[in-house]
Amino acid sequence: MGFVASKLMRGLPRDAQPLPADEDRQILDYFQGSWEIVGMMQTTGSVVRDSADGPGFGIKRIAFEKALVQGNKMFLSGAGGKSQTQTLVFNRGRDGILYCDAQGSIIQEMQEFQVIFDNALGYKLLWRRSDAYQASKQQVSAASGAASSAAQGPSSKVEKLKELKKLLDDGVLTQSEFQVAKTEVLNSSLQY
């Protein structure tokens, strides 16, 4: 079974190169936390089958419904207790295509709260942040904006961390979302 499945996978092109460390870290930081997975339609070559929901979207049973990214590990879970762990490894082909694993899954589009993949088996997947995550990120962003207008320094980071802790305690953020936001505050000198 593993042999048959591997023949169906795209695989990583030979010309793909690992990303520079700073770009790799920025993309990995972006992925941290929990995601909902929505199946789109299977691609056939470069053609995507359309549905009533719009181009490329359709009701497609997929094995996994949720993803949690911690470090470079991606924990996938689905109905019936199915689970899988994969390692995120970012490479870019000579043609500029961004790959996210050794099997050849492609990141087609990254937006603030969603990512579209063409996985190694040829299925389009939409990962999106939950509504609660989006609301909490917007609250954190507003709090960060207010704190940025104040003097920058250790005290502003402390205030941001206090606000994040309050959001965690109020149930707006999950523990993993809190950890991601906390890391962003502590590493706030990085450009995103």
- pLDDT recorded at residue 82: 85
Going by pLDDT thresholds of 50, 70 and 90, the confidence category of residue 179 is confident
Tokens 């689970």 found at: 83
- Tokens for 176, please give them: 């993993």
Looking at per-residue pLDDT, the higher value among 55 and 114 belongs to 114
Q: What is the mean pLDDT of the chain?
A: 77
Cβ distance 171 to 151 under 8 Å? no
Q: Mean per-residue pLDDT for 48-72? A: 65
pLDDT score for 14: 93
What pLDDT does 58 receive?
46
Among residues of the chain, what percentage have pLDDT more than 90? Answer: 37
